[in-house]
Amino acid sequence: MRTRNSTKSASIPAKSGHPVPVSEKGKRGSDLSTMKTVAAMKLKALADGHLTDCVFLVGRNERLAKEIRAFRLELIVSSEYFSGLLNSPLTLANPGPIRVKTIEPDVFKLVIEFIHLSGHLKSKVGSLEVCLQLARAADEYLLDDLSHLCLEQLRNKFLLVDNVWNVLTEHRLIRGIAKACLELLEVHASECLREVSFFEASEEAVKLFLSLDKMEIESEMELVDACIEYAEKKKEKKDVFRRAFLPNLRLLNLSTKNLMKVLPFLTVEEKTYLAAHGSPLKVGWTPKTLPSLCDNGSSREKRLSEEPFQPGWSAKRRRAVRTLFVSYPSRD
């Protein structure tokens, strides 16, 4: 039977070829921290401009723009955007620095670092604003891996219930940012609807939110109430409600009592559509509520026999989710 002898010191090969006791391994391992890594050497070469063959002049402000150097080959093989830029006749004809005005120097440095370190960042993304700018740059420069990194940063570090509406309003067209925002809104829908920032969100941002099939809500009426309150704060409340919210609300999920709150925002045809999906006696609608349905006995049949009417709201039914599939920082 083979047994382990714990009294003898095992050995590992040393650089010189002589065995080194394992007890000294920790001491040798600590020396590795002082060695120059490939990443550190690459970043130093970029900072010093050593062997670099590509120069960018970066910054929105002409006076504060900074020169940032890179390796042309790394950029071309990593990004279709940079490949097109660096191989364009205009760039090839002009040997000077390439002017970049759409991004701040510190953020562009992160882009260059990410590309030159083969899809990794040694530097930290220090704030929500930097992360958003980096995600926008990743979208512009066609760097999917960087978009994913920003998505993870937003999920795990920066997005909160009290800032998600502002972020979605400003950056809804950036795929990675919108995805992170909608994931948070899906999980924390009820809490987000109670935020003051919800009423300051753009109609487009709220429309994206309402398009979700699943969300953590008590009922569809929770969404309807929030949208009505949002519309009430606007000058043209009926137009806002119909334009921005009605197409994505699932009115067929509502009870009869709750439907009555929505009637002021509906057209006669839409009210007729609702009435056609249940007995007027059952739903409790009266001639005063729906006068057009009581003009004559055939009015309902006449409307339904015409060309199929498409209501202004979604015919889908929303499913509430009860399992939190992703964690976000909670708001204190």
- Give me the DSSP letters along 166-216: HHHHHHTTSHHHHHHHHHHHHHSHHHHHTSGGGGGS-HHHHHHHHT-SEE-
Q: What pTM, to 2 d.p., does this model score?
A: 0.72
The model's confidence at residue 118, banded by pLDDT at 50, 70 and 90, is confident
Q: What structural domains does the chain harbor? A: 39-319 (3.30.710.10)
In whole numbers, what is the pLDDT of the chain averaged over residues? 79
Residue 100 has pLDDT above 50, yes or no: yes
Classify residue 199 by burial, with Cβ atoms within 10 Å: 0-12, 13-18, 19+: middle
Residue 106 has pLDDT above 90, yes or no: yes
Any idea which residue has 């002409």 for tokens? 62
What does the angle CA 166 – CA 169 – CA 170 come to, to the nearest 5 degrees? 90
Q: Going by DSSP bridges, is the β-strand pair 66-70/98-100 parallel, antiparallel, or unpaired?
A: unpaired
- Which pLDDT belongs to residue 255? 82
Of the spans 33-47, 257-271, 282-296, 313-327, which averages the highest pLDDT?
257-271
The model's confidence at residue 92, banded by pLDDT at 50, 70 and 90, is confident
Residue 294 has pLDDT above 50, yes or no: no
Residue 267 has pLDDT above 90, yes or no: no
Please state, in angstroms and rounded to a whole number, the distance separating the CA atoms of residues 158 and 139.
19
Residue-wise pLDDT tens digits, 62-83: 889 999 999 999 999 999 999 9
* Residue 290 or 192, more confident: 192
Residue-wise pLDDT tens digits, 141-185: 999 999 999 999 999 999 999 999 999 999 999 999 999 999 999
* Residue 85 or 27, more confident: 85
Q: Distance between the two ends of the chain, CA-based, in angstroms?
A: 60
The model's confidence at residue 191, banded by pLDDT at 50, 70 and 90, is very high
* Residue 254 or 249, more confident: 249
Please state, in angstroms and rounded to a whole number, the distance separating the CA atoms of residues 22 and 12.
7
The model's confidence at residue 10, banded by pLDDT at 50, 70 and 90, is very low
